[in-house]
Amino acid sequence: MKKLYSIIVAFLMFFNLSLFAQDGPPWDFNGTDHGFLASNYSNIVVGDTYLTYTIVDNDGDGNGDSANPNFRNESANIDTSAGNYVAITMQNFTGNAKLQVITTVNGSNAFTNFDGLSSNDSDFVTHYINMSSNANWSGTVDTINFRFKQGNGVNNNVYAGEVLFDHIEIVESIPSTPRVDYTFDDTSDSEGFTTANGVTMSQPVAGELHLEIANQSPYPKLEQTGLYSVDADNYKYVQVTLVNNSPKNKLTFVSPSGGNEFSTSDMTPNSGEAQTIEVNLSEFTNWSGTQANWWFQLVENPGDGAVPSAGSMDIQQILFTTVGLSTSNNEILDMMIFPNPVDGNYVTIVTPVQGSKEIQVFTVTGRKVMDTTINGNTLDVSSFNSGFYMLKVTINGQSKVSKLVVR
C-alpha cells in the first residue's frame, strides 16, 4: 500500500512539475531555449543573450536541405488573450523574406503567413505578426512553429543560414510612430514598407521606392507593416505620386481592420512620367482610430477582372491628407499653379473660370494657415515655411484642391 501511495505521490509531483515547467512567453533566450526545438535540417545553439537558429545546407547550394525547416515549441503555453500580435525580435542573416507561423490545436494546423520579413539584417529587427485570422488563436496554444521561406512568391524553398532570436512575446497592438508623409529620402530606410505577391523593392536613388513587379499575381502588394501609424479619424484621403512603367491601371488601398475594405482609383499605365493618384478612404467603415497596417494593390484590370502582368514602378511620395485634391468635377479642375515647387515669394494661379479667387491653404495635418481672397493670379506665400501644403481655390462656388510645395 505504501508503495502504491508513493507511486501516486510521485506521479502527482511529476504532473505538477510538468505544468510548472511550461514556459509561456515572453521568451528572452538568455541562456535557455525555452522549450524550442529545431528539426528538418535545422539546429539551435543557446547563447547568453540570444539563440542561434541555423538552416542547414550540406550540399553547398545556398538552400536549406529541407524546404520546411521547423523552429518549434510544443509546450508554448501561449495565452492568446494577451493580444493578437506575435512580436519577434531577430537578426535574419539569410535571404528569406517570408515567415510562416503555424499553430496546432487538437491535431489541426492553422497557418499565418508573414511576407514582411527583412533579410540580411545589419541589426536586430522586431517584426509584428498579426495572428487574428489564425483559426487556432484562442484560449491557450501549446504548439507553435516558425518556418522560414524564401518568399516573394516562392514557397517551396528556403535559403540556408543563421537567424538570431533575441525575444518573442505576445502583444495587444503594434507600437508605432504617427506619420502621414512618406518621401523615401534615405536609401537605407524603406519607411516601414515591404512588398509581397511577386514585387521586389529597392532604393537605388533617394526620393523613391523602386518596385519590380513579376508576372505572377494579379494583386502585387506594397504594405506598411506597422512601423508608422495614421490617425484614420482625421485623414480620409491618401495621395500617391509615382512613375508607372507597367501596364497597371488601378491603385487599390486596402484597410485590413476587420473586413479588408478597399477603394480603387485609376492610374495611367506605362506613362513614364510622374502622376499623383488620390484614393478616397472616407467611405470605409473600418478606417477609424489609429491604423498602422494597410497596403496598396497595384492592379491591371482590362475590364473583366485583375490579371497578372510585369513591369516597374517608382513610388515617390505617399501622403495622407484631411482634404481631397478634387472637390467638384467642373471647369476649374484645369487650374494651373506655377512654379510648383516654389522657391520664391509668389505663385501664379491660372484658371479658365474668371472671378475673385477665394484661397484657403492647409498644412498636411489639416491646420489652416491662410484664408484670403485675391482678384488677380498672384498669391504671396512668403510667410510659409518649407514643406507640403494643400491649396484650395474657389471661384463662383467651384472648388479645386491642389498640392503646393514650398522650398
Q: If we measure between CA atoms, which residue out of 263, 262, 260, 289 comes closest to residue 130?
A: 260
Write phi, then psi, for 80 (nearest 5 degrees): -70, -15
Q: If we measure between CA atoms, which residue out of 284, 306, 302, 182 comes closest to residue 241?
A: 182
- pLDDT score recorded for residue 9: 44
Report field, pTM of the whole predicted structure over 0.85 = no
Query: How far apart are the C-alpha atoms of 142 and 77, rounded to whole Å?
Result: 5
Measure CA 79 to chain center.
26
Sign, CA dihedral 88-92-98-100, equals negative
- pLDDT score recorded for residue 329: 45
- Bridge partner list, 274: 243
What's the topology of domain 331-406? Immunoglobulin-like (2.60.40)
Sign, CA dihedral 244-250-256-403, equals positive
Q: What cell numbers appear for 276 in the block?
A: 499623383
Q: If we measure between CA atoms, which residue out of 309, 253, 307, 312 comes closest to residue 283?
A: 253
Task: Indicate if 331-406 has the same CATH topology as 22-171.
Answer: no
Residues of the chain predicted below pLDDT 50:
8-21, 327-329
Query: How far apart are the C-alpha atoms of 252 and 115, rounded to whole Å?
Result: 19
Q: Which helix (H) or strand (E) holds 105?
A: strand 98-105
Q: What does the domain layout of the chain look like in residue ranges?
A: 22-171, 177-321, 331-406
Work out the end-to-end distance of the chain between its first and last CA atoms, rounded to an integer number of angstroms: 91
- pLDDT score recorded for residue 300: 97
Question: CATH: 1.10.3720.10, 3.40.190.10, 2.60.120.260, 1.10.260.40. Which one for 177-321?
Answer: 2.60.120.260
Instruction: Give the residue ranges of DSSP H helices in 99-166.
Output: none
3-state secondary structure of 15: helix
Q: What cell numbers appear for 211 in the block?
A: 518596385
Residues 395, 332 contacting (CB under 8 angstroms)? yes
Q: If we measure between CA atoms, which residue out of 174, 197, 193 comes closest to residue 318?
A: 193
What's the topology of domain 22-171? Jelly Rolls (2.60.120)
Radius of gyration of the chain, Cα coordinates, nearest whole angstrom: 26
Residues 301, 164 contacting (CB under 8 angstroms)? no
Query: How far apart are the C-alpha atoms of 325 and 321, rounded to whole Å?
Result: 9
Which DSSP letter does residue 214 get? Answer: -
